[in-house]
Structure 1
C-alpha cells in the first residue's frame, strides 16, 4: 500500500465536529440561548384526563352515600331492637300475671268459706278474723278485686244468672249468691246472681201497690185515713 493511497483515505474521512451542549457558558456564566429555547412550558392536561379536584369530589360523594346507607341500616336495627325489647317485656309481664292469676284462683274457695263464716258471725273476733284480714289484704295487693253488687247492671260477661224474674225492662242484679273476682282485665270467676227487670236508679214498685210514704211520727192507720180523706 503506497503512501498516496493512505492519504486519499484520510481525506475521505468526515471532519470531527464537537458540540458544546452545556447550558451555561463556561466563559461568561450566562445561560445560553439554545437552552432557553429548549425549555418548553408544561403541557396542558390531555383530553379525557380527570382533574384531581373532580376525582376528590366524586370520592366524597360516594363516601357520603355510604355513610347515609349505613346510618339508615343502624336506625332500622335500633328500631327493631327496641320493638323486640318491648315485646319481650310485654310477654314477660303476661307470664307473671298469668302465674299470679293461677295461684289466686286456687284461693277463691277459701275466700268463699271466709265470707260464709263472716255471715254467721264467726269472724267477729279471734285468730280467724286476723287470718281473714291478712289474706284479703295480701290478695288485694296482688290486684284481686271483687265485683257484683245488688242494683248493678247485668253483664253476661261478668255475671252468671241462675234466675231471671221478668221478661222486659232493664235487667239488674236482685241478689248476689256468689261474688265475682278479677285481676285487672282478667276475670277469674263470674258472679252468680239473680236478675230482675227494673231501673238501677229508680227501682220499680209493685204494680197496683200502695206507694204512699208514711210520715214520721204517724202510724200506718193514720196515714191510710189521711190518704182516703184526700
Structure 2
C-alpha cells in the first residue's frame, strides 16, 4: 500500500472562546495510491474543511496532514502553493471556468498556472479534452456548453497537468442525475486509466457506487469507513 495523503489526529477550530466551532475533531484517514475515496455527510459535517486541509488550502489547528510523506500542514504558504500547482488538481461544483476563454484555452490556462513546460501545452490540452469527450467542443466558450460539458471541461483542466492527487468538492451537485452518473464514471476512469488518486465530497449515491473507499463524517468526526473494492 502506497499512501498519497494522510491525516493524524487532525482538529480544525474556527473562532475563539464561546464562539469557537470545532469543524474537525481527531480525524484519522489515509488516501491510497490509485483509489477513489469519497467523503460523505450532511452539510456542516466537515467534508469541505477536510478536503481543504488535504489540498493545503488550510492548516489544521492541531494534528498533522501529510502529502507523499511530507507534513504539509506546517509548511509556509509559498511551499504549499508550489505543491498544489505541481502535484494536485482541484474541481469545484461551480466549474470555475473563465467565461471569455474557449474550452481549450481554459485547459491551457490551467497548465500555465501549474508551471508545465510550454512545449507540452498543445499535446496535453488535446489529450485532456479527448479523455473527457470534449474534443469537438474545444473552441466553444462556457456559455455555449451544457452544465455537464462545463464540468467535463473543468475536469480536463484539472487533469491536464497530470496531478498525483485530484480533489473534488461536490462535483455533481449542480448536474441532473444522468449527467451526474456520466461524471461519476469519468472519475472512475481517471483512477483506473489515469493512475490518479481522487478524494471527493458528495451526497450523490451514484458517486459512492464507483468509489473504492467511503468515509462518513458526522459533527467533524469520522463516523464510519467503508472499503467497497
> What TM-score do the two structures reach when normalised by structure 1?
0.19
Larger strand share, 1 or 2: 2
Q: 1 or 2 for the larger relative contact order (CA 8 Å, sep ≥6)?
A: 2
Larger helix share, 1 or 2: 1
CA radius of gyration, larger in: 1
